[in-house]
Structure 1
Amino acid sequence: MTTESDSPEPVHEAADTEADQHWLTPGVGSVAAASFFSDSGHEIATSVLPSFLTSVLHGSAASLGVIEGVSDALTGVAKLIGGPLANDPPRRRVMATGGYLVTALATAAIGLATAVWQVAILRALAWASRGVRSPARDAMLSSLAPQRAYGRAFGLERAGDNLGAVVGPLGAAGLVAWLGIRPAIWFALIPGVLAAIAIGFAAREARRHGNGVRQRIRFDLAGLRGAGLGRPLLPIVLFECGNLASTLLILRATQLFQGQGMSAPSAVSTAILIYAAHNAVAAGVSILGGRWIDQTGPRRVFAAGALVYVLGYAVFAFGPTPWWAILLAFALAGAGIGFAETAESALVAQILPDHLRGSGFGVIGGVQAIGNIVGTVVAGILYTTVSPTAGFLYAAAWMLLSFTGSIVLRVPGGSRRA
């Protein structure tokens, strides 16, 4: 995805070195806090969604896969649409704040659904709002962090997101035991509102540090290609084709535990707790991956993410397995997403100027959309009609191709951190 040993650009090197020591500003911290609160909220719903859909609403694994795949696809489409809008600094601040708030409302409303199609609509609305806000948030974070610390800044943001995905499932487990599945989903509203407040503070910091220059709204594909974004997209596409929705992992773990004699409630609770461990690993790896990126560039970090996913999916494919092997599989998947997502975000921030970053993050979102249609939907259908093994081996094959592509393909020219 990038060269490894080219010299860094000398422009403003002294200023960047000084800024490098003070990269964790209130604005950067607020963006990470927004990701933490928002993910805490919608992961409450994500954790119980497989059981809510299959046990309460009597849906199937295939319907779960379709809902998740289509929702993720809508996220990508919304990122493509929101990307050019986020090139404009004033507009990106409004988009980020509004997107976080709508996500919170739609996610909590899933707990009111009485049919599978209602879940599908609300999940799609929540995920589309996530898509609109994401390029705006990432472009805003790029403007708040120094260039030589993009890896650490995006690593912190990803860590906040993944830590939220620890708190969310843990909270969901307690709420399910206390109140039941449906009421637990309603509580997603509280952290979602806190996320909107945090991103609003970050937007104020970005406005204070920004130049206030309005940008024309356009999708400058030639500019993105000229800046070097084209070639690294291939391994990213391959990765996203194998990046399954976490709900399928939770469903697989739940069924494996039930196959070992656990009751349905115990299997669900145990799977959610292990999923929380998966996200804790992702948070820690995001921090480590961010530092690694700032030292060597995104390519090696991204390749490591694809490789550990191959190993994790192999464990999921060949069940039944003991609890510690299921925990290992979740940990490997967590490491994979921690490495890869941080590398993708840092890549866009490093190689694109501010007036193109929104579009760049939107393109990455579109790539993720295509991948999630191919990955989650097809894997869910294979899971149901053939076997869980077939679904996970299908995803592992894409990850292996991504690893190979990230090793072979390099961006010609550019800086060490490009």
Structure 2
Amino acid sequence: MKKLPREVYILGAVSLFTDIASEMVYPLLPLFLTGVLGASTLVVGLIEGIAEATASLFKVLGGRISDRIAARKPLILLGYGFPALLRPVLALAVAPWQVLTFRFLDRVGKGLRTAPRDALIAEVASQDTYGRAYGLHRAMDSLGATLGPFLAFLLLPVLGFRGVFWVSAIPAMLATLIVLFLLREKPGLARPLPPLRLSAFSSQYRWFLLVTGVATLGLSSNAFLILRLNDLGLAAAQATLVYTAYNLLYALLSYPLGSLADRLGARRMVLLGFGTYAFVYLGFGHSSAAWHGIVLFMLYALYSAAFEGSSRAYLAQIIPATEKASAIGLYHTLVGLLLFPASAIFGFIWQHFGSSTAFFTGAALAFAALVLFWLDPTSKSGYTS
């Protein structure tokens, strides 16, 4: 088996430490805002909405700048380093607008780094190792997302909210130092780029954007899955434990499924992801006992592990080398922006027609995406690849 480049491991370590830092903070923010700073739930929703929209919009910008300067490391360093330096803003916050400032600038960093990072992985790895490379990165990222809340759980009774926020700066700075001193690349020559137009990309790439858009409209926030667990009889603490187990299983499955994508083809693994997503949502719609929800949540980890890494590997295969980061950034921006109406539609259907109807709708859109991808008229290798 071909060895992965050192840059893949370095970027995996960077994501591991960054997610530890982020997930130490993220689950505590709503409680900190409402319980310490006196913010309303409306303010909490507004802050998170602005934060996620910012990350989505800046992903295409980060990719475009990276392609323009023909370098990845400067954007990666800025994207990881800038949020790490902002931790004191959160730890010292005495008003909700200061938390908003932190979340906004933190998500700017995430937006700027995502496409250059994924593009660098595609550039240093060979095409026959894309699945393993992205799978390893997703595994380390998800492991950080598992360790972060666990550390927060342990430290919160001892240090309080602000103490946890200060400690989260340690893994964030470690990630920045790894990028600064260990990550290497050979930058190309800066060059002007034509205006970003969908028509400039391949029909295969545009079809995948369409398919992913359909699938994303059926996805809900993970908060709705946790809420469904609560409806099925699990207490809040138990539901949180199931979510932690989901993140851990996601981390454990990402690399093996990425390796499988290299052997079977990334396209087949994307199809497996869509199929699993449809099955899980169909199951949540029919579920009537707590153990149903637990099993389905663990199967959802299979979807996440199969789709997230393989979709990146598939993207890397069908986008042009000269605008790799731009294409990846545009993809992430589309997905990020569509998640807003997706969750809003899901919540509306749940409220007015019941949770089962909401999950059945998501399953139908996932199945539609699977069929569209299976019948992709632009794929050179047809639906059998």
| TM tier relative to shorter chain | 0.7 to 0.9
Q: Deviations over 1:30-79 (max 9, x none)?
A: 0111111111111222233454456554643x765554444333222101
**Contact 1:42–1:104, Cα closer than 8 Å, also in 2:** no
**2:331 equivalent to 1:364:** yes
1:149 and 1:34 map into 2 onto residues whose CA distance is 20
| Corresponding residue number in structure 1 for 2:272 | 304
Of residues 237, 240, 261 in structure 2, which corresponds to 1:293?
Answer: 261
Residues 346, 309 of structure 1: CA spacing in aligned structure 2 closer, same or farther, 3 A cutoff? same
Q: CA deviation at 1:217?
A: 4.0
SS of alignment partner, residue 204 of structure 2: coil
2:19 counterpart of 1:39:
yes
Shift in alpha-carbon separation, 1:288–1:271, aligned structure 2, 3 A: same
How do 1:22-61 residues align onto structure 2 when only pairs under 5 Å count?
Answer: 22=3, 24-53=4-33, 57=38, 59-60=40-41
Partner of 2:79: 99
1:412 match: secondary structure: coil
* Among candidates 184, 187, 190, match of residue 214 of structure 1: 190
- Partner residue of 1:399? 366
The 1:414–1:317 alpha-carbon spacing in structure 2 relative to 1, beyond 3 Å, is closer
Q: Where does residue 21 of structure 1 map in the other structure?
A: 2
Partner of 2:123: 143
Q: Return the alpha-carbon distance in structure 1 between the equivalents of residues 220 and 139 of structure 2.
A: 19
How far is 1:144 from its partner? 1.5
Residue of structure 2 equivalent to 1:4: none
| Paired residue type of 1:25 | P
Cα separation, partners in 2 of 1:317 and 1:240, compared to 1, 3 Å? same
Are the counterparts in 2 of residues 70 and 373 from structure 1 also a CA contact under 8 Å? no
The answer on 1:152 being equivalent to 2:128 is: no
> Following the alignment from structure 1 to structure 2, what is the Cα–Cα distance between the partners of residues 114 and 339?
42
Separation in structure 2 between the aligned mates of residue 112 and residue 313 of structure 1, nearest angstrom: 41
CA distance in 1, matches of 2:22, 2:68: 28
Contact 1:49 1:247 (C-alpha < 8 Å) held by counterparts: no
Show structure 2 runs of 5+ residues with no match: none
Unaligned runs of 5+ in 1: 1-19
State the identity %: 28
Asked whether the 8 Å contact 1:298–1:343 carries over to 2, the reply is yes
Aligned residues: 384
Residue 103 of structure 2 is matched in structure 1 by 123
The equivalent residue for 1:374 is: 341
1:73 aligned partner = 53
In the alignment, structure 1 residue 344 sits paired with structure 2 residue 305: no
Tell me the alpha carbon deviations over residues 188-239 of structure 1, each in whole angstroms, 9 at most, x when there is no partner. Answer: 22211112222334542x13xx5x3223244443675237311111121122
After superposition, give the CA deviation of every residue in 1:382-403 in whole Å (9 maximum; x if it has no partner).
5667765565555444333323
Question: What residue is the counterpart of 2:375 in the other structure?
Answer: 408
TM-score, length of structure 2 as denominator length: 0.85
Per-residue CA shift, 1:290-317, capped at 9, x if unaligned?
A: 1222123222212222232334345555
Q: Which moved more, 1:328-337 or 1:313-322?
A: 313-322
Tell me, yes or no, if the aligned pair for 1:160 and 1:283 is still in contact at 8 Å. Answer: yes
Alpha-carbon distance in structure 1 between the residues aligned to 2:323 and 2:302: 29
One-letter amino acid of the counterpart of residue 142, structure 1? A
Question: Equivalent residue for 1:242?
Answer: 218
Amino acid at match of 1:246: N
For the 8 Å contact 2:51–2:103, the answer to whether it is kept is yes
- 2:320 pairs, out of 329, 335, 353, with 353
1:200 to 160, 180, 191: 180
Question: Is the CA contact 2:66–2:116 (under 8 Å) kept in the aligned structure 1?
Answer: yes
Residues 65 and 333 of structure 1: CA distance in aligned 2, closer, same or farther (over 3 Å): farther
CA contact 2:21–2:171 (8 Å) conserved in 1: yes
**Distance (whole Å) between structure 1 residues aligned to residue 179 and residue 225 of structure 2:** 30
Distance 2:382 2:279 in 1: 32
- Residue 163 of structure 1, CA deviation: 1.0
**Hey, what's the Cα distance between the residues in 2 that align with 1:202 and 1:354?**
24
Per-residue deviation, 1:92 = 2.2
Q: 1:90–1:363: structure 2 CA closer, same or farther, 3 Å change rule?
A: closer
Q: CA offset at residue 151 of structure 1? A: 1.2
More deviation in 110-119 or 226-235?
A: 110-119
Rounded to whole Å, the distance in 2 between the matches of 1:410 and 1:188 is 48
Change over 3 Å in CA distance of 1:222–1:385 after alignment to 2: closer
Q: 1:226 is aligned with what amino acid?
A: S
Cα offset, 1:175, TM superposition = 2.2
- Distance in 1, matches of 2:86 and 2:359, equals 30
RMSD: 3.3
Change (3 A) 1:40 1:246: farther
Higher relative contact order, structure no. (Cα contacts within 8 Å, ≥ 6 residues apart): 1
